[in-house]
Structure 1
């Protein structure tokens, strides 16, 4: 039996004006809904520029409580359009405690659940540890009317353990709102290797877990406010992979684009029957995974 849902992905470029970004998001979400999308997924930190290129205490003013203004606005949009919506917000939890948080809205506008980004990078132009406290909610799928969503965020996508734990908890699909790109000083061949590694890693999660993977990245150039680098050219390439890692749809790396694709969630059952990776896992020999390193 097929259980097919239509998924919309919004790959967007952003500017400094938050309201302009949100208005464009709303238009793109509405466009996906008109095309029949039942589930719409947005990119990481979609309300603003990717502010982690520098460390600036004033940026914390962008953060919001959950519930708060953005959850009210996007929740009402989900209700009006009758869609499940995956958003990515800068959460103010308490003074001095902020999270990079994905919020999922049910089609009635209610908050179905949220996920706080667990793995926090700290690299040149990606100074996220300055802003975000690591998540403390674990790897738990969010139940919605379109299925159990294994929502993770960006840097989480490099960790097979995160994908596996979501799958083991019963996720029907893995979803990655993302903000990743190139520093312009990198050579072209290095840029290609970086993008290919990003794609391969997530397709690998699809294969290893027998699940569809939805990855939504931002696109366009965002300057470095400090002027220390040439900024980030976000590489887009948002895509959906099926449970054998096959591309179901893929965007380009230069343009804003809305993708719509049918995803058959029931196909995972058939794939897991012919590739029974879960059956053959040697859980008796995996205790070392809870250690930092095996000396």
Structure 2
């Protein structure tokens, strides 16, 4: 099937993990009732964005994968015949934690997980304190409705990640995300940052000829020092915005996309055909010195 209805859940979170999980499940059910077939939740949706501080107590938020959250979501996926993309804080072993997204098929089957490859370390985004970089490589998941590629937040800025995932056969790229504005910033900076964030992802759609779906959280966190900017969106394979959510409201979005249009765009704009793969070896270097 080429036509598929994608659901985005953009929501705010609280400090209560179970409350957030229950809220997300309710939103998934609502999206399913509205006709969604593939539903994507935002990054780390079971908690506040805890990486604003380096606090050992936050490791207690992690869980095994598969584990309690995937078990609950699996029941919902099977009951409503939907694919669920769920971003979780994974405890792999004592002292080893990952930022991980799981994919559950429409029959509730656990298809696997992707561990975030690119880990940021910026003020209020201290992810290197918590997360071991992913070691599963880039992944695609063959679901009932489409073959999906999943990348996570900071991965958004790296064309190498989207390219490899697309070359592996992803028909749609999903980006669960948690990104926001410092409330101390001026509006011009806010606009510039959001536009850059959206533009880089739309460029991945264009370069690879695939739909891109980005799902962000919304609301004030970190004692209102951070406003997560929402703005979840869906881009077609040539960068056209099919839907963009608001910056300040919780939303459940259902958007039909046609994955067969990738062939049309790739045929008329043959970027994949004209790649000079024989010349790309320097990309594996950190930096290329002239001497």
TM-score under structure 2 normalisation? 0.98
After superposing the two structures, state which structure 1 stretch, 72-81 or 43-52, moved more: 72-81
Long gaps (5+) in structure 2: none
Matched, 1:232 2:231: no
Long gaps (5+) in structure 1: 225-229
Instruction: Give the aligned partner of residue 36 of structure 1.
Output: 35
Residue of structure 2 aligned with 1:284, choices 267, 273, 278? 278
Provide the rounded CA distance (Å) in 2 between the counterparts of 1:223 and 1:115: 27
After superposing the two structures, state which structure 1 stretch, 18-27 or 98-107, moved more: 18-27
Instruction: Give how far 1:22 is off.
Output: 1.4
Matched, 1:106 2:105: yes
Instruction: Give the aligned partner of residue 20 of structure 2.
Output: 21
The 8 Å contact of residues 184 and 225 in structure 2, kept in 1 or not, is answered as: no
Q: For residues 146-295 of structure 1, what are the structure 2 equivalents within 5 Å?
A: 146-224=145-223, 231-295=225-289
Deviations 1:48-107 (A, max 9, x none): 000000001111011000111011111111111110000000000001100000000011
Instruction: Give how far 1:273 is off.
Output: 0.3
Instruction: Give how far 1:146 is off.
Output: 1.3
Provide the rounded CA distance (Å) in 2 between the counterparts of 1:36 and 1:103: 21
Deviations 1:29-60 (A, max 9, x none): 11100011110000000000000000011110
Provide the rounded CA distance (Å) in 1 between the counterparts of 2:129 and 2:109: 31
* SS of residue in 2 equivalent to 1:122: coil
Provide the rounded CA distance (Å) in 1 between the counterparts of 2:270 and 2:123: 40
Instruction: Give how far 1:231 is off.
Output: 2.3
Provide the rounded CA distance (Å) in 2 between the counterparts of 1:18 and 1:59: 12
Provide the rounded CA distance (Å) in 2 between the counterparts of 1:220 and 1:67: 29
* SS of residue in 2 equivalent to 1:253: coil
Provide the rounded CA distance (Å) in 2 between the counterparts of 1:156 and 1:192: 21
Matched, 1:9 2:8: yes
Provide the rounded CA distance (Å) in 2 between the counterparts of 1:42 and 1:57: 26
Instruction: Give how far 1:188 is off.
Output: 1.1
* SS of residue in 2 equivalent to 1:215: strand
Provide the rounded CA distance (Å) in 1 between the counterparts of 2:139 and 2:35: 28
* SS of residue in 1 equivalent to 2:20: helix
* SS of residue in 2 equivalent to 1:135: coil
Matched, 1:55 2:75: no
* SS of residue in 2 equivalent to 1:191: helix
